[in-house]
């Protein structure tokens, strides 16, 4: 018998929380301080209770974990203690911690805690240390093979293990890196403080003290591809990994929704006996349509090689891009119709096309079912380059805010 793993997904702000619905079993998120993604939009402290209430009101309830996983300095201890106590009072389910100060404070208030991958837990002795300390779970180092993960899981008594299954990979061990801080000559931009500027994604020259140049042919030899384990869900489940974690707290709602849907379907299909090649191909296609640097399997089966580095292209390598086409001028919730200003159309907009509508408090994906232009129903509309914007009316099922932007995904 194997356990059904918890699917843990990243949340950046309200829109990303809205889109996951009942797809996830748990979320992890940060507030404006003490988390490894300081550049994310992040929530505010006053939002803690609301986040917990939204998650716990789902059927079944979703768990909410607060990231407090950066290195902590003495000047921050009092404020960190207030935050952890507030998280406890707000019924946040656990904190994710790296620094022993955060762990000690959590224990002081009987707050459940998870050991961050920043702790680089790579062996059973380290894992048992945190188990004896009272950790509910350990997020194992990303540099472990599946064989090593199985051994640690087998030898632990009660602490659960969590492993990343999808998302960005750091070229440094478990993200413990001073490259960014060194480049910027400032601790403010340390990866260990959540402010990495990702210099590893650039082109670099290696030159010795005799001015010999090495490893430079115009390629980004530190630019690791993304982890993707959608093809190996059975192996991961059979290894009794308790939690499948998706990376991506800097990603937009479309990425979060798409990746969560694929892994939710993959887990469910394993347990209902329908997991197979056709479904894998479909999931890989959908995953390739959102932000990615190319895919590989991390350290699960072998140490990454040069094939697992994206040498030529920086950032998103997906062939599918999000194109801005216009904005919402007004919305009538009674008729569920929106007046739209189409400002940019590289190709005709047609019935059946899927559009993405994004605003500060709006995120929805809609398939166009009805279009009206100058009082007449139409099946498609074009706009020639350098002509005036076009006003049309679209049927939109969900209430949306004025000035929300409209996008379409094109290959």
Beta bridge partners of 68: 97
Q: Residue ranges of the domains in the chain? A: 6-308, 321-410
* Tokens standing for residue 91: 């019924």
**Mean pLDDT for the stretch of residues 173-181:** 70
What pLDDT digit, counting tens, does each position of 54-106 carry?
999 999 999 999 999 989 999 999 999 999 999 999 999 999 999 999 999 99
**If one looks up domain 321-410 in CATH, what number appears?**
2.40.30.10
Percentage above 70 pLDDT, the chain? 96
Q: Report pLDDT for 339.
A: 96
Q: Strand, helix or coil at 407?
A: strand
Q: What pLDDT is recorded for position 328?
A: 95
In three-state form (DSSP H/G/I as H, E/B as E, the rest C), the secondary structure along 224-266 is: ECEEECHHHHHHHHHCCCCEEEECCCCCCHHHHHHHHHHHHHH
Q: For 95-116, how does the pLDDT look when each residue is reduced to its tens digit (9 = 90+)?
A: 999 999 999 999 999 999 999 9
Contact 199, 171 (CB under 8 A): no
Indicate the average pLDDT of the chain.
90
Q: pLDDT by residue (tens digit) across 204-251?
A: 778 888 888 776 666 777 778 889 999 999 999 999 999 999 999 989
Cα–Cα nearest to 130, from 84, 154, 97, 163: 97
Q: Distance between CA 169 and CA 277 in Å, rounded?
A: 25
**Residue 121 and residue 11: Cα distance in Å, rounded?**
24
d(CA 147, CA 154): 11
Q: In the numeric block, which tokens belong to residue 149?
A: 């993960």
User: Among the listed ranges 118-122, 126-130, 407-411, which one has the minimum average pLDDT value?
Assistant: 407-411
The C-alpha atoms of residue 22 and residue 20 are separated, in whole angstroms, by: 6
Collapse the DSSP code of 336 into the 3-class scheme (helix H, G, I; strand E, B; otherwise coil) and give the result: coil
pTM: 0.88
In the three-class reduction of DSSP (H, G, I as helix; E, B as strand; rest coil), residue 329 is classed as strand
> With 80 as the cut, is the pLDDT of residue 190 above it?
no
Location of structure tokens 């100060």: 101
Place of tokens 């072998």: 302
Locate 252 and state its tokens.
């937009």
Strand pairing category for 206-207 and 321-332: unpaired
Q: What is the mean pLDDT of residues 126-144?
A: 97
Those residues whose C-beta lies under 8 Å from the C-beta of residue 141, and which sit 6 or more positions away, are 117, 120, 121, 122, 173, 174
Q: Is the pLDDT assigned to residue 35 strictly greater than 90?
A: no
CB neighbours of residue 37 within 10 Å: 21
Is residue 140 within 8 Å of 173, Cβ to Cβ?
A: no
Q: Across the chain, how many H-helices and E-strands are there? A: 10, 22
- Tell me what the mean pLDDT of segment 10-32 comes to: 93
Residue 161 tokens read as: 């293990």
Query: Are residues 117 and 174 in contact, defined by beta-carbon separation less than 8 angstroms?
Result: yes
Fold of 6-308: TIM Barrel (3.20.20)
- So what's the pLDDT on residue 311? 73
Cβ pair 99, 77 in contact under 8 A: no
How high is the pLDDT of residue 381?
Answer: 93
Contacting residues for 55 by C-beta, under 8 A, at least 6 apart? 26, 27, 61, 62, 63, 64
- Rounded to whole angstroms, the Cα distance separating 122 from 140 reads 7
Distance CA 108, CA 221 (A): 45
């Amino acid at each position: 018998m194997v356990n059904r793993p918890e699917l843990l997904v990243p949340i950046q702000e309200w829109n990303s929380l809205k889109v996951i619905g009942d797809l996830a079993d748990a979320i992890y998120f940060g507030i404006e301080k003490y988390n490894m993604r300081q550049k994310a939009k992040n929530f505010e402290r006053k939002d803690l209770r609301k986040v917990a209430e939204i998650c716990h009101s789902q059927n079944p309830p979703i768990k909410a974990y607060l990231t407090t996983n950066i290195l902590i300095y003495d000047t921050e201890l009092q404020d960190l203690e207030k935050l952890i106590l507030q998280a406890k009072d707000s019924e946040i389910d656990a904190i994710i911690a790296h620094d022993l100060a955060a762990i000690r404070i959590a224990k002081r208030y009987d707050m459940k805690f998870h050991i961050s991958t920043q702790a680089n837990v790579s062996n059973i002795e380290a894992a048992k240390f945190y188990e004896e300390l009272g950790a509910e779970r350990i997020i194992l180092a990303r540099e472990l093979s599946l064989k090593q993960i199985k051994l640690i899981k087998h030898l632990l008594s009660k602490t659960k293990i969590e492993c990343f299954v999808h998302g960005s990979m750091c070229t440094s061990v478990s993200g413990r890196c001073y490259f960014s801080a060194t480049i910027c000559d400032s601790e403010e931009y340390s990866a260990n403080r959540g402010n990495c500027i990702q210099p590893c994604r650039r082109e670099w020259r290696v030159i010795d003290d005799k001015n010999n140049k090495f490893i430079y042919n115009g390629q980004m030899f530190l630019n690791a591809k993304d982890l993707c384990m959608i093809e190996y869900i059975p192996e991961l489940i059979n290894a009794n990994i308790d939690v499948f974690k998706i990376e991506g707290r800097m990603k937009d709602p479309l990425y979060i929704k798409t990746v969560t849907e694929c892994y939710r379907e993959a887990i469910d299909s394993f347990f209902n006996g329908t997991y197979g090649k056709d479904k894998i191909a479909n999931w890989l296609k959908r995953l390739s349509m959102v932000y990615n640097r190319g895919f590989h399997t991390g350290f699960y089966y072998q140490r990454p090689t040069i094939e697992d580095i994206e040498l030529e292209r920086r950032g998103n390598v997906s062939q599918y891009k999000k194109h801005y086409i216009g904005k919402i001028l007004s919305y009538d919730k009674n008729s569920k119709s929106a007046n739209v200003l189409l400002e940019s159309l590289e190709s005709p907009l047609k019935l059946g096309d899927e559009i993405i509508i994004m605003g500060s408090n709006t995120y929805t994906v809609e398939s166009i079912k009805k279009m009206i232009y100058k009082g007449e129903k139409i099946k498609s509309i074009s706009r020639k380059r350098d002509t005036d914007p076009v006003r049309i009316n679209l049927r939109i099922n969900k209430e949306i805010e004025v000035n929300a932007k409209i996008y379409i995904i094109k290959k």
